[in-house]
Amino acid sequence: MSENERPEPFTYDGEVPPGETRHLRYEVGETYLGDPVEVPITIINGTEAGPNVFLTAAIHGDELNGVKVVQEVADRYDPDDLHGTLVCLHVVNVPGYLAQQRDIPIYDQDINRSFPGKERSNTAERMANKIYCRFVSQCDLGIDFHTSTRNRTTMYHIRADVSNPAVDRLARAFNANVILDGEGEATSLRSVATGDGIPTITVEMGKAHRFQRPLIDKAVEGVNNVLAEYDVLPDESATEAKWHKVLGGEQEKRWLRAETGGLVEMEWGPYPLVHEGDTICTVTDHFKREEHAVTAPFTGIIVGVLENPVALPGHPLCHLARIDRETHAEIETEIERGEFDGYRTLGLGEMADGEQTE
Ligand SMILES: [Zn+2]
């Protein structure tokens, strides 16, 4: 955006003029009772021109850390601060949020597998379509907040298709230690928006059903970094670039699964680095007669772990991403510098199972 460009209203099917903050509830459907289902949205349209940035939380209804991040971001900035517009969708999946569950309670539809949605399709697609057409598609870039699914926890990281230079810029600007590279599910918000030329990243942070303050603080700062990078906050500079690493793509990622049923004891930690052959956890029977150690098949970084301490055969225990020698040395240095402090307790967690991610 050039300096002399004039700020414009943000239009959905209403309009927020430059210099105004609006809190609104936008109807995306109806309940069985015929009452409206309304998404809480804050739009802060800056007094100066600049990019439109969307933030979305609770597309999965029980993933709460992002809800707190969006609440704080929406409260933090005034139109006078911004060259551009912030579009904050506080809770996308309202029915799931009310039930405190991931999917829409009716027929368990996943909104994050329903983008861009259709006007005349199932409930999730209709909701996704309204959100996408009215708000997301009017934006220039976006950040979608998630946590692990319940009973697990995920390491604080970014998911992004870094082969796309515009996404790579956004992912780096957010300034998290770990970026997991990949396109994501074809009908997720991130993939669809990115495919439409709206670079979008997913932030994965911790556990469902919780507010985890240290992670929330990091993410609020991450948003500020992004706004600084894109000159939405022209006077701010991003926090000093951290060490970070892009994992995935060609590198191997694997879910280690339980082979026996029993009680799970995590042995890894306090840092997420494990060496080939290290015991990650053990699974014992109730009589402690049998103990199965689950060991690292290769040297890597733990990106997700089980939290619920009971398992049965096939249950995912730990998500491990392979790292090369150079990365290994870098991570060891960063551990010494304290970059990974608190990862065991805050979760390094899990990311979910196959289709359960994002
Ligand atoms: Zn999610």
Helix, strand, coil shares of the chain, percent, nearest 5, are: 25, 30, 45
pLDDT of residue 353: 32
Task: Using the mean position of ligand 1's atoms as its centre, give its distance from the Cα of residue 48 in Å.
Answer: 33
Mean pLDDT by 10 residues, the chain (358 residues): 78 97 97 96 98 98 97 98 98 97 91 96 96 98 93 87 97 92 94 98 93 93 97 87 78 88 90 92 95 94 88 92 88 81 52 37
Task: Using the mean position of ligand 1's atoms as its centre, give its distance from the Cα of residue 345 in Å.
Answer: 20
Cα separation, 247 vs 321, whole angstroms: 7
Task: Using the mean position of ligand 1's atoms as its centre, give its distance from the Cα of residue 230 in Å.
Answer: 26
342-345 CB contacts, 8 Å cutoff, 24+ apart: 342/214, 343/155, 343/269, 343/270, 343/271, 343/272, 344/268, 344/269, 344/270, 344/271, 344/272, 345/270
pLDDT of residue 356: 40
CATH of domain 10-242: 3.40.630.10
Q: Could you tell me which CATH class the domain 248-338 is placed in?
A: mainly beta
- The structural domains of the chain, with segments of one domain joined by +, span 10-242, 248-338
Task: Using the mean position of ligand 1's atoms as its centre, give its distance from the Cα of residue 185 in Å.
Answer: 12
The pTM (predicted TM-score) of the whole model is 0.90
The per-residue pLDDT for range 150-187, each reduced to its tens digit, is: 888 888 899 999 999 999 999 999 999 889 998 889 99
Question: In whole angstroms, how large is the CA radius of gyration of the chain?
Answer: 21
Task: Using the mean position of ligand 1's atoms as its centre, give its distance from the Cα of residue 128 in Å.
Answer: 15
Task: Using the mean position of ligand 1's atoms as its centre, give its distance from the Cα of residue 152 in Å.
Answer: 12
pLDDT of residue 250: 67
Task: Using the mean position of ligand 1's atoms as its centre, give its distance from the Cα of residue 352 in Å.
Answer: 9
Cα separation, 304 vs 349, whole angstroms: 4
Pull the structure tokens for residue 44: 């802060």
E-strand stretches of 135-252 = 141-146, 152-160, 178-181, 200-206, 245-248
Task: Using the mean position of ligand 1's atoms as its centre, give its distance from the Cα of residue 202 in Å.
Answer: 9
Sign of CA dihedral 328, 331, 332, 333: positive
pLDDT of residue 344: 57
Cα separation, 251 vs 249, whole angstroms: 5
Cα separation, 17 vs 14, whole angstroms: 10
Task: Using the mean position of ligand 1's atoms as its centre, give its distance from the Cα of residue 273 in Å.
Answer: 24
Kindly give the pairing relationship between strand 300-306 and strand 200-206: unpaired
The per-residue pLDDT for range 84-143, each reduced to its tens digit, is: 999 999 999 999 999 999 999 988 899 999 999 999 999 999 999 999 999 999 999 999
- Residue 2's SS3 state is coil
Say which DSSP state 93 is in. Answer: -
**What residues have a C-beta under 5 A from ligand 1, the ion?**
60, 63, 146
Structural contact between residues 67 and 57, judged by C-beta atoms closer than 8 angstroms: yes
Pull the structure tokens for residue 72: 């704080």
